[in-house]
Structure 1
Amino acid sequence: SQYGGRDRQIPLLQLIDRAQARRLLAMGATQDFGVDFHKLSAKGRPASWRYPFTLQTLMH
């Protein structure tokens, strides 16, 4: 489907280590959660572009 659906779903649960847990907790303490949402935006990208939503992407 054009806007997502079963073909674009990924598992959300994954193991994280202690350092990643600390980093995620710290990210939650900031107003923008420490995420560069412009970097993740689909604006100006082709319609076939897939969002790179992974834990590693969000943490960098």
Structure 2
Amino acid sequence: MTEDSTPSHAVADALQSLPFGNLIGAPLTACAEAQAEQAEAADKFMKEVGLEPDKEAEEKE
């Protein structure tokens, strides 16, 4: 059996060989990790500058 060399078949073969899990998953994982780091930095900043939670709001919960 010979290999189909039509452009559409060649493109389909090339796309199937790409590691989409890594191509899509890695940037999403990096975004999630960056967002977590930003949240930690914001929390640390708020604690350093003396912002404290509203005591009355905590009592109502």
TM-score, length-normalised on structure 2? 0.23
Q: Which protein has the bigger helix share?
A: 2
Bigger RCO of structures 1 and 2 (CA < 8 A, at least 6 apart): 1
TM-score, length-normalised on structure 1? 0.23
Larger Rg: 2
